[in-house]
Amino acid sequence: MTVRALQHCLLAASFVVASLAMAGEASDDLHATIAAQDAAAFDAFNHCDDPAQLERHAGFFDADVEFYHDTGGVTWTREEMLANTRKYVCGNFTRQLVPGSLQVHPVRDFGAIAQGVHRFCQAASDSCDGIAEFTMVWRLRDGQWQITRVLSYGHRPATD
């Protein structure tokens, strides 16, 4: 599936679940939509050594995103967050969602909150030696989902 086709599928799914999310009702469709958004955002993140993929990753974030990282501090804009991603992530490690850990909660008249656990793997060896929790606030506006707030915390060595 091409990136453009994936974007169209995600947009169509957004319209299907928009009324449920705005009404504050939990649904399997909302969970599937946010899971697909998360997968697409981090597919781009995992390939961000390609400038086009870094730009694609950027599109998932609001320009004024707030990113709170327990060991790295706070960034207040997408550009600042991307500078850190470019400097510390691209070509160095990838992110994997721990299967079964994603929880999605609707936020009435706004979007959704996603919580889960992710692990970080060395790009050179595929050794997944770090793990942490995350919380992301997703806003649905004009049919597009974007992340407005990120909390990444509890960073520690992976034991499994």
Confidence class for position 26, pLDDT limits 50, 70, 90: low
Per residue in 65-102, pLDDT (tens digit) is 999 999 999 999 999 999 999 999 999 999 999 999 99
C-alpha span between 136 and 149 (Å, rounded): 6
Sign of CA dihedral 140, 117, 63, 48: negative
Position 20 pLDDT exceeds 70: no
C-alpha span between 137 and 157 (Å, rounded): 25
Q: How large is the average pLDDT for residues 8-32?
A: 56
Confidence class for position 14, pLDDT limits 50, 70, 90: very low
Higher pLDDT, residue 53 or 12: 53
Domain that holds residue 26: 3-157
In the predicted model, what is the mean pLDDT of the chain? 88
pLDDT of residue 3: 44
Q: What is the CATH number of the domain that holds 134?
A: 3.10.450.50
Structural domain total, the chain = 1
